[in-house]
Amino acid sequence: MKNKRKGLSAWQITMMALGTVIGGSFFLGSSIAIHAAGPSVIISYILGGILVYFILRALSEMTVSDPSQDSFRSFSEKAFGHRTGFVVGWVYWTGMTLAMSSEAVAVSILMRKWFPGISTAVFGSITIISITLLNLLGARKLSNLESILAAFKLMAIIFFIITGVLLVTGVIGKVPVITFSKITHQPLFPSGIKGIAGSMLIVMFAYAGFEIIGLASSEADDPQNTIPKAIRYTTFSLVGLYIISTIVLILLIPTAAVSENVSPMVMALNSWGITWAGNAMNFVMVTAILSTMLAAMFGLGRMIRSLANENYAPAWLKDKKDVPYRGMLFSGFTMLLGLVISFLFPRAYVFLVSSGGFAVIFTYIMIVASEIKLRKNNLNIYIISWITLISLIVILFSMPFISGQTSGLIVGLMIIGIYLLIYTIMKPYKKISKTAVDYNRLNRIRHQLGLNTEFSKELSHGKKKLYKRRNKKHHDKN
């Protein structure tokens, strides 16, 4: 019992999820949703939070019930076969690379506030190259930097809320107290139900990254109790932060004035003459987005390595080193390619957010569909999962309700079709390496047991350790 490893607490997992989720899709992308839905975007964030809760519950329940599966891709493969596992893995990776390209554009838009003479393409390219090179240093050297940058995300939103409340109540700014009548003077549904439906993709994209909770189940202390708590804490924290900051934003500026070319939070503070706060907010948001990109690149490189180890990716992407250099360089190159392609469209940022958002929603659809297929024993869960699944499908096909998102829908469907075609041509299910599968399975067991030895040592000494533990348990019982 002395060597028992203490796992992650509910709050630790929650903070990890919040640090991963909050990024440019909220700080800048929210402007698209707010402009489309008006004050009713608050309803969108509430509906999004409800869907997030049920998706998280589906993923965590599957993970707790079958810890041997290492990702949502594995559950899709278990439920629907190798073809689906291949497509889900590659679509999610593609979507996340496009999402990170959108984050690079977001950084560029924010930076142009100070350097208007430098183009978005140049800033975006510098950002992607820098993030890729930093990740090549390895996780240990980046852990402290990532923790500091992640904290800036929460600080940014809390800073905006506090400053906005002080403005609304007339404490600063020397302006009359602003009341909720300012919201009622604006049309609640400027674009009708279509505005809410069309905004849901951006809203769900702002929640993207929460799936880390399901994947952290194997690292949790008492997963059966810790994970449900972490789900509640994360959902309520995100929904609370998003809704409160959006209400403050709507009180400060008209929703019709919001533009995707500038952060709505910076615009709100600048409109009330607090330029220093706008500049501070701009700086913090840049660091927050860079934090998201660092964390995402860390995962993208390892995702490619995982796909390569199971012969779902070209052999030259396999990397036996701790830092998956090849996967990261390949992901960074793809981000640059996505950035270049985005400028072929009139609204580059909207294209990247919508196409990346499509891939993320598709992944969530497959998570819920996998739970429906694998866990039919509870009728209530079964019904809720079907409602969640249908809602996510409706969100996908509501994308054209917002101008510029149609291209993202078309590209998303094309991505799925392309990967289905690639799978059909390559037939990877005939070439799946048993050694690679065993490597991944044993590596997961090693990770769950908290061992820090190399895999070669695990292979040679693993049985010996297990026998010792069994003998010890037998001795304790006697």
Number of C-beta neighbours around residue 18 at 10 A = 21
Q: Examine the pLDDT at 348 and tell me if it is beyond 60.
A: yes
- Two structure tokens written together for 178: 């602003």
- Two structure tokens written together for 33: 């949703």
| The predicted structure's pLDDT at residue 315 | 82
Confidence band for 174, pLDDT divided at 50, 70 and 90: low
Nearest to 392 by CA among 360, 351, 370, 420: 360
Rounded percentage of the chain residues whose pLDDT exceeds 70: 79
Tens digits of per-residue pLDDT, 21-36?
877 778 888 888 898 8
| The predicted structure's pLDDT at residue 224 | 75
34-69: burial string, b at 16+ Cβ within 10 Å, e else? bbbbbbbbbbbbebbbebbbbbbbbbbbbbbeeeeb
Higher pLDDT, 382 or 44: 44
| The predicted structure's pLDDT at residue 140 | 57
Higher pLDDT, 206 or 448: 206
Any idea what the Cα angle at residue 218 is, between residues 390 and 298, rounded to 5°? 80
Rounded average pLDDT over 356-364: 92
Q: Examine the pLDDT at 83 and tell me if it is beyond 80.
A: yes
Rounded average pLDDT over 210-217: 67
User: In the predicted model, what is the mean pLDDT of the chain?
Assistant: 79
Cβ–Cβ < 8 Å for 36, 195: yes
| The predicted structure's pLDDT at residue 417 | 95
- What is the number of H-type helices and E-type strands within the chain? 20, 0
- Which among 73-87, 127-141, 272-286, 369-383 has the top mean pLDDT? 73-87
| The predicted structure's pLDDT at residue 409 | 92
d(CA 365, CA 301): 24
| The predicted structure's pLDDT at residue 265 | 86
Q: Examine the pLDDT at 259 and tell me if it is beyond 90.
A: no
Rounded average pLDDT over 147-176: 77
User: What proportions of the chain, in percent to the nearest 5, are helix, strand and coil?
Assistant: 80, 0, 20
| The predicted structure's pLDDT at residue 139 | 54
Q: Examine the pLDDT at 51 and tell me if it is beyond 90.
A: yes
Please give the single-letter amino acid code of residue 390: I
| The predicted structure's pLDDT at residue 69 | 63
- Two structure tokens written together for 111: 């930076």
pTM, entire model: 0.80
d(CA 37, CA 243): 14
Confidence band for 387, pLDDT divided at 50, 70 and 90: very high
| The predicted structure's pLDDT at residue 444 | 45
Q: Examine the pLDDT at 94 and tell me if it is beyond 60.
A: yes
What domains lie within the chain, and their CATH numbers? 10-432 (1.20.1740.10), 435-478 (no CATH)
Token pair 């009713």: residue: 40
d(CA 265, CA 246): 9
